[in-house]
Amino acid sequence: MRTCQRYLLPYAILIALLLSSCTSCSQTGGSQATEPPLPYPQFDRHTAFAYLEKQCDFGPRIPGSQAHQDCLEWLVQELEDLGGEVIRQEFSASTPFGGPFEFTNIIAYFPGDKPGGPVLLGAHWDNRPEADEDPNPALRTQPVLGANDGASGIAVLLEIAHQAHDKTARRPLIIALFDAEDSGKSAAGQFPLDGWCIGSSYLAQNLPAEIPKPEAVIVVDMVGRGSIPNSRVGTPRGSKNYMELQTEGYSRQSAPGLVDEIWSIAEEAGHTAFVRARRGHIIDDHLSFILQGIPAVDIIDFPPEWHTIDDTPEYCSPDSLYQVGDTLMRYLYGVRNP
Ligand SMILES: [Zn+2]
C-alpha cells in the first residue's frame, strides 16, 4: 500500500471516466435505516487476535519464502474448515523485488439468503520483503513481520468467516485473501501500480467463473493498531497512539454511499476508530477493483510501525480488530440501530 501522491493523477482521471458511466456505483448499501436491530453473530476479538498471532508465528510471509508457503496452506485449510467453497487462484509474477514468484489468491464463497449480489471482503496475506521505512537504515533490508500490515486484515476476515459460516441470514459473501500486495516500490513504473497490489489486480481481472461477480468490495488493511507507544519509531506521521480510520479518497469517489453506510454503522455502534476526516488517495487493493468498474472501499489506518521491523503483535490490539469486525458483521447482517 502506498500513499505517494505524484503517481495518482492518471488513476484519478481513469476513475472519473469509470464513474461517469456508472452512476449506480454509489448505491451499494444493503441495509435499511428503518430496519430493527437483528440478532447477529458476535465477532470475537480474542479469536481474531489469535488468528493474527498465528500468521506471525510463521515468520514474514514474503514471496518465495517457506513461511509464505506454510501460511498459504494454513489459510486454505482454515477457510475450508469454516465451510467456505475455497478457490486457489495461482499465478506467477515478478515484482520490483525480483522473481518470478509463485502467488496464490485464496477465495472463499459463502452463500447468503438476503437479497443483493455478493459483497467481497478482501485483505492481503503477504508481507513486505524490506522494512524500508524503518528509522534505522541498517534494518531496512530486513523483512516486515506484518502483524498489522497484512495479518490484522486477514484476522478480521477469518473471524468473520468463523462467525458467519453457519448463520446465513446475510448477504452472499466472498472472502478474498490477496497475495502480492506489498512488494511495490516508488517509481517502479514498469509495473502497473508500481508493483503494489499484484494479487488483487490479477483477481479483479480474472474473477472466477464459479462464483457470482461481487457487487461491492470492502478492503481492510492495517486495522489492528494498539495503544502502546512505540519509543523506537515514535509517531513520525503525526499519528496518535490509537487507530484512526479516516475515509479514503478513491473510496469516496467510487462508492460514496457505501463509505457513508459503513462509517454510519460504526458510529451508531460507538466504534470511535472510524472518523469522518478525509484521507488522501491510497494505492491499495480496493483500487484494483475500482479500475475494473467495481465499487470498492478501503478501511485503512496508518500505524507508526508501518513498513518497519516493529510491525509486530506487541503493537496490535484485539479491541481494534473488534471495532472493524463488528462494523462489518453489522453491515453483512443488515443491523442498524433505530
Ligand atoms: Zn504494506
For residue 332, give the nearest of 157, 79, 135, 148 by alpha carbon. Answer: 157
* CA 69 to ligand 1 center in whole angstroms: 19
* CA 329 to ligand 1 center in whole angstroms: 25
Q: If pLDDT is split at 50, 70 and 90, which confidence band does 32 have?
A: very low
pLDDT of residue 26: 32
* CA 17 to ligand 1 center in whole angstroms: 28
Q: If pLDDT is split at 50, 70 and 90, which confidence band does 21 have?
A: very low
* CA 307 to ligand 1 center in whole angstroms: 6
4 vs 41, more confident: 41
* CA 306 to ligand 1 center in whole angstroms: 7
Structure letter (DSSP) for residue 147: I
pLDDT of residue 85: 83
* CA 190 to ligand 1 center in whole angstroms: 20
* CA 337 to ligand 1 center in whole angstroms: 35
Helix H or strand E segment including 25: none
pLDDT of residue 39: 76
Q: What is the pTM of this model?
A: 0.89
Alpha helix segments (H runs only) across 61-120: 66-81
Q: List, in order, residues 6 or more apart from 13 with CB less than 8 Å away.
A: none
* CA 94 to ligand 1 center in whole angstroms: 17
pLDDT of residue 237: 54
Coarse DSSP helix, strand, coil percentages of the chain, rounded to the nearest 5 percent:
35, 15, 45
* CA 173 to ligand 1 center in whole angstroms: 25
Question: How many degrees, rounded to 5, is the angle at CA 275 between CA 245 and CA 226?
Answer: 45
Sketch out the chain's domains with CATH numbers. Answer: 5-332 (3.40.630.10)
Each residue's pLDDT tens digit, 60-111: 999 999 999 999 999 999 999 998 889 999 999 999 999 999 999 999 999 8
CA pair distance 152, 239, nearest whole angstrom: 19
Q: What is the mean pLDDT of residues 15-20?
A: 44
Beta-carbon count within 10 A of 17 CB:
10
* CA 221 to ligand 1 center in whole angstroms: 9
> For residue 290, how far is the Cα from the chain centroid?
14
Alpha helix segments (H runs only) across the chain: 9-20, 45-57, 66-81, 153-164, 198-205, 249-254, 256-268, 285-290, 318-332
* CA 137 to ligand 1 center in whole angstroms: 18
Does the pLDDT value for residue 6 go beyond 80?
A: no
What are the φ/ψ torsions at residue 216 (nearest 5 degrees)?
A: -155, 155
pLDDT > 90 in the chain, percent: 75
* CA 115 to ligand 1 center in whole angstroms: 35
